[in-house]
Amino acid sequence: MIVKMSSSPVRGRFAPTPSGRLHLGNAATALLAWLQVRAAGGTMILRMEDLDGPRCKPGTADLVMEEMVWLGLDWDEGPDVGGPYGPYEQSARLALYEAALERLRAGGFVYPCYCSRAELQAIASAPHGLASEGGAYDGRCRRLSPAERRAKEALKTPSVRFALPDRSFSFVDGVAGPLTFGPGAGGDFVVKRADGIVGYQLAVVVDDIAMGVTDVFRGWDLLDSTPRQLALYEAFGERPPRFAHGPLLLGPDGSRLSKRHGSVAVSSLREQGVRPERLTGWLAWLTGLTDKPEPMTPPELIPLWNPERIIREAVRLPADWTDRLKAN
C-alpha cells in the first residue's frame, strides 16, 4: 500500500511524555519539530502524552514547558494556552479513545488477547519485532474460536489487539525519503492493555486526527511505529500526516543517553550556566542543520531549515561535550 499524505495547511506538534525532565534528545526533537512548523508558517501544538499514570510525575509537565520556553520554543495550542482541540493532556481525553475503540470493534479490526506475561516473554524472543517492544506477536489469540475466547475470558481480563493487515506499507519520510515496511511490521499490536491503559499507537493517532495534525516530526526510535499508525488511519478512513524522523542522540560510548554521560537534562545544563542560544545552536549542528556549533536562537534558525540536511543516523556526543557547551 502506498500512502498519500495530508496536503492541508501545516499543523505540527511536539508530544512529550512528562515522566522526567526534558533531556537533550527530546530537546533536539522539539527544536526540529518547531522549526519544521515555523518555517512553513504553520500552527504549533504541544500535547502531553500522560496516559501511563505511574510513569508520569506530578509537576513534570510544567517543568517540561518551562524548559521549552527557556530554549526559545513556543506553541499556539497546548495545556497552558488552550485551543480549539483541547484538552491537550491525553489523560483528559479517555472518552475519545474509548469511542475510537468501539469503532474498531464494530469494524472487526481488533480482537481480545488473553496471553499471559510468560507467553508474551516467550514470543519476545522471535525476530522482526519493534525495537521498543520486543518480538513480533504471532497472532495466536486472533485464531481462537468463540468457545475458546469465552473459556479464557473466565480466567483473565484480555488486552485488545489491532489485527495488522498482512501487506507492506510504503511512505515518504520527510528526512529518510521513500521507505517500505514489509508484511507483519511488528505483528498485531495492543491498543488497550489488560489493566485498562490505552495503547500509545491508538491514542496518538486519535489525537492527531482530532487535532488536525498534518506533520509529525519525531525521533528515529519511533520510525517503526509508522506502519502501525498508517494501518489505524486506514481503519478510521482518515488521511495520515506527513511523517519525518530525526536522529537519536547517543552518549560518547554509543549507548542511549543517561546520567552516566553527564548532565543530559536541559534544566541541569541551565543550572550550570549554559545559555539557551548556545544549546539550540549546538543541537542544530549535531543534527546536521548547521555547519558549526555557533550560538543561535530558534527564530534565527528558521531561515536555515532544510530537512535534507538532517542526519539520517544516530549521533554520538563528543567525549568533551559538557565542557564544549559551557565554553562560551
- Amino acid 241 reads P
Q: Which of 51, 53, 4 is nearest to 204 (CA)?
A: 51
Residue pair 167/183 in contact (Cβ under 8 Å)? The answer is yes
Compute the distance between CA of residue 106 and CA of residue 1 in angstroms, rounded to an integer.
23
259 as an active site residue: the answer is yes
- Specify the residue for cell string 510513569: 55
Residue from 57, 152, 192, 259 carrying the catalytic annotation? 259
Compute the distance between CA of residue 84 and CA of residue 15 in angstroms, rounded to an integer.
17
Q: How far is CA 17 from the centre of its chain?
A: 9
Compute the distance between CA of residue 11 and CA of residue 38 in angstroms, rounded to an integer.
10
Q: Classify the C-alpha dihedral 216-221-223-227 as positive or negative.
A: negative
- Specify the residue for cell string 517540561: 64
Residues acting as catalytic residues: 259
